[in-house]
Amino acid sequence: MRRVSLEGQVAVVTGAARGVGELLARKLSARGAKVALVGLEPDALKEVSSRLHSESDHWHADVTDHEAMARVAREVKERFGKVDIVVANAGVATGGPFVDSDPESWRRVIEVNLIGSAVTARAFLPLLIESRGYLLQIASLAAITPAPMMTAYCASKSGVEAYAHSLRAEVGYRGVRVGVGYLSWTDTDMVRGADQDEVMRELRQRLPWPSNKTYPLGPAVDRLVEGIERRSTHVYGQWWLRGMQSVRGGLPGLIGTVGQREMRRFADRLTGMRTGLVGAGGAADEQQRTTRTTVRK
C-alpha cells in the first residue's frame, strides 16, 4: 500500500513515557501528526510532550482500566476532534523460571500486554471507525518463537498477535486497518533491565544469530513509522524478522530441544533470581499498583 501522509493526523501512543513509545511519538510528530501520549508517568509524559514538534497532549492512565481508557478516548476526541492512528505499545516484562515466578508479576504481564491492548482498542475503535483509521498492535519476536524463562511475556505477545489478526477480520469492512508490529531485542529500558540479571543476559547471548543481538532503537522505530504510513498488516522492526514467519512452525520443537540443554547448563544458578517486573517501565507499573492499593485501604 502506498504511504499516507501523517500531516494533520491524530495519533494515540500508549506506553509513551520512554523507549519505543517515546521515540515513536517524536517521529510521528516530526511528520506532522498530532500526538496523544498515554502512560503511567505524568511528569515524564509532560516532558515528552513539551519536546514534540507538533501539537500534543498527555494523559495519565493505566491501560488495563476500562473506565480510565474510555475517559482518555473521550478527552482525546474533545481535544483533537478525531483519532486516526492508535499504537497499542504499553508493555511490561518479567523473566526467570516459571516454577519460582512471582504470581502477581506473571499475571501483571498478561494484564498489561494482552488485556491492556484489548482495553485500548475497545476504547478507541469507535473513533477509528469514524476516521477509517489504523490500529498498530506492538507484538514481539516472542510472538513468533517461544523462549525459556519468558513464559509470561511469550504468552502475552502470542496473545496480542492472535487477537490483532482476529480483530483485523472483524473491522476491516468498516474501513479500519489493523497491523502487528514485531520487534526483536531492542535497546530500551525493558531490555536493559532484563540484562541486569546475569543468567538472563547470558542465556540471551547464547541464542543463535541474529536473535542474540540488541538492536538500536532508532532504525526499529523508523520501520514502525513506515508501517504506519503504509497502514501495513505486518511491520518488522528488524529486517530478518520477516523471514522468521516462514519457519515459525518448526521453532517450538527446536527451542524445546535447545532450551532444555541451556536450562540444564544454568540450573545451579537459577535459585534466587529476581522475578518481578523489569526496567523503569516495570517500576512505574509497580508504583502505580502500590499507590492504588494504598488509596483503597
Q: Give catalytic residues, as residue numbers.
A: 153
CA 44 centroid distance within chain = 18
Alpha carbon distances (Å) from 130 to 10, 133, 134, 205, 237: 13, 8, 11, 46, 29
Q: Are 73 and 10 in contact (CB under 8 A)?
A: no
CB atoms within 10 A of CB 258: 14
Beta bridge mates, 135: 86, 178
Q: Are 49 and 57 in contact (CB under 8 A)?
A: yes
Q: Which three cell numbers stand for residue 127?
A: 473513533
Query: Distance between CA 90 and CA 113 in Å, rounded?
Result: 7
CB atoms within 10 A of CB 62: 20
∠ at Cα 141 (170, 284), nearest 5°? Answer: 90
Query: Distance between CA 17 and CA 40 in Å, rounded?
Result: 8
Contacts for 273 with CB less than 8 Å, ≥ 6 apart: 95, 96, 97, 100, 197, 199, 200
DSSP secondary structure, 166-216, as one string? HHHHHHGGGT-EEEEEE--SBSSHHHHHHHTSHHHHHHHHTSPTTTTSPBP
